[in-house]
Chains A and B, each alone.
Chain A
Amino acid sequence: SQQGEEDPQALSIQEGENATMNCSYKTSINNLQWYRQNSGRGLVHLILIRSNEREKHSGRLRVTLDTSKKSSSLLITASRAADTASYFCAVMDSSYKLIFGSGTRLLVRP
Chain B
Amino acid sequence: ETGVTQSPTHLIKTRGQQVTLRCSSQSGHNTVSWYQQALGQGPQFIFQYYREEENGRGNFPPRFSGLQFPNYSSELNVNALELDDSALYLCASSLNTREKLFFGSGTQLSVL
Contacts and interface: CB of A to CB of B under 8 A. Distances in A.
A39 B35 CA distance: 17
Interface in A75-103: 88, 92, 95-103
Interface stretch (B14-22, B69-77, B96-104): B96-104
A103 B42 contact: yes
Interface in A27-68: 30-31, 33, 35, 40-45, 48
Most chain-A Cβ atoms within 10 A of its Cβ — which of B45, B59, B104?
B45
A42 B105 contact: yes
A101 B42 contact: yes
B4 to A, nearest CB: 8
Contact of B41 (A33, A41, A99, A102): A102
B103 A98 contact: no
Interface in B45-93: 45, 48, 55-56, 58-59, 88, 90, 92
Contacts, number: 61
A98 B33 contact: yes
A96 B90 contact: no
Nearest to A5: B42
A102 B106 CA distance: 18
Contacts of B90: 42-43
A97 B45 contact: yes
Contacts of B33: 98
Contacts of B99: 48
A14 interface: no
Contacts of A99: 45
Closest 6 pairs (CB-CB, A-B): A42-B103, A100-B42, A96-B97, A45-B100, A42-B105, A102-B42
